Amino acid sequence: MKVILLDRDGTAIVDPPDLRVDKLDKIELFPDSIEGLKYLADNDFAVILITNQAGIEEGRLTEEEFWQIHKEVLRQLEPSGVKFLKTYMNGEKKRPDNTDWRKPGPKMLLQAAEEFGLDLSQVYMVGDAQTDIQAAINAGCKGGILVETATGEEVVSPDAVYSAPTLLDAAKYIVAYS
Ligand SMILES: [Mg+2]
């Protein structure tokens, strides 16, 4: 089984206009979220989610609320058939060295590598922000793939190994180049 590291908000699901998925009714999939993840599953890829949650730091949602909402996110993505191995979320307040944990810091990615025995030089990280791409570089990933699905201003990343219009395009690149 192969693995990718995947950002959640703005990548697997839509980032709401206020950029905070802090209510159940703010969960929205992209038109090709399921198809993109299914393409990965069909090609023997599993997914590890790596998500920054600034809303927790800001006190807009608790960690308990996050996990409750996240459970519903996973339920909605379930029809893709992809296996989500684990979700790493930067629980900001509990860690003394937050900046390493919060993307672009590499700690969540490095912890995933340790827990699942991954050789990150063979693993792509996919996200909609420069912080995702930089985290991939900082952790020594095979590369960061930008999906051009961020809410708000268009994101351009010269550091990305590939810029994909959608998650499905990113999935096709990953399968082709792994
Ligand atoms: Mg994002």
Report CA(15)–ligand 1 centroid distance (Å).
7
Instruction: Place domain 2-176 in its CATH homologous superfamily.
Output: HAD superfamily/HAD-like (3.40.50.1000)
Where are the domains positioned within the chain? 2-176
Average pLDDT estimate for 22-46? 98
- Long-range contacts: 135-139, Cβ < 8 Å, 24+? 135/50, 135/103, 135/104, 135/105, 135/106, 135/108, 135/109, 136/5, 136/109, 138/104, 138/105, 138/106, 138/109, 139/106, 139/109, 139/110, 139/113
d(CA 158, CA 137): 12
7 is an active site residue: yes
Report CA(52)–ligand 1 centroid distance (Å).
8
169 is an active site residue: no
Q: Is the pLDDT score of 91 beyond 90?
A: no
d(CA 10, CA 153): 12
Q: Beta partners for 86?
A: 48
Rounded to the nearest 10 degrees, what angle do helices 167-176 and 33-42 cross at? 20
Residue 86: CB atoms within 10 Å? 13
d(CA 76, CA 177): 28
d(CA 102, CA 48): 16
Model confidence band, residue 92 (pLDDT cutoffs 50, 70, 90): low
Average pLDDT estimate for 119-143? 98
Tokens 């699942």 found at: 116
Residue 93's pLDDT is: 57
Residue 98's pLDDT is: 67
Residue 49's pLDDT is: 98
Report CA(19)–ligand 1 centroid distance (Å).
9
DSSP letter, residue 15:
P
